[in-house]
């Protein structure tokens, strides 16, 4: 899906704490990562940007994508913006190479 070089511009790893730089496109057909957009992961979201519905869907999607609990995900900045910084707290430490495997594995 993405190379490690591309992901290094969008992801900060601080041991078991991951910060994602996202560009969100609401009202899409499906919720999915699409590409790298201006050094941010572009996430297409099916929900509209009304009443926090898009943010809620982002949290649900990321929890499924990374196979973690929703309470391990928080929006650090960009609650009302398409440009968001998302914090993910994991149970183990990752390197960028290890974490990038989430973006290269086959999705089920």
Question: Which residue in 81, 80, 84, 66 sits closest to 16, CA to CA?
Answer: 66
Domains in the chain with CATH codes: 4-103 (3.30.1200.10)
Q: 17-65: per-residue pLDDT in tens?
A: 999 999 999 999 999 999 998 999 999 999 999 999 999 999 999 999 9
Residue 71 gets the label, from left (phi > 0), alpha (psi -120 to 50) or beta, of alpha
pTM given for the model: 0.90
Report the first-to-last Cα separation within the chain, whole angstroms.
14
Residue 79 tokens read as 């609650």
Between 102 and 31, where is the model more confident?
Answer: 31
| Per-residue pLDDT at 105 | 60
Using 50, 70 and 90 to split pLDDT, how confident is the model at 83?
very high
Average pLDDT of the segment spanning 58-78: 97
- The whole-chain average pLDDT of the chain stands at 93
């Amino acid at each position: 899906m993405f190379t490690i070089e591309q992901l290094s511009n969008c992801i900060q790893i601080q041991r078991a704490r991951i910060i994602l730089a996202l560009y969100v496109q609401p009202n899409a057909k499906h919720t999915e990562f699409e590409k790298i957009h201006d050094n941010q992961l572009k996430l297409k979201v099916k929900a509209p940007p009304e009443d926090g519905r898009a943010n809620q869907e982002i949290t649900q999607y990321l929890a499924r994508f990374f196979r973690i609990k929703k309470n391990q995900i928080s929006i650090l900045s960009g609650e009302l913006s398409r440009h968001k910084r998302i914090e993910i707290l994991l149970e183990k430490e990752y390197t960028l190479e290890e974490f990038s495997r989430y973006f290269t594995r086959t999705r089920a």
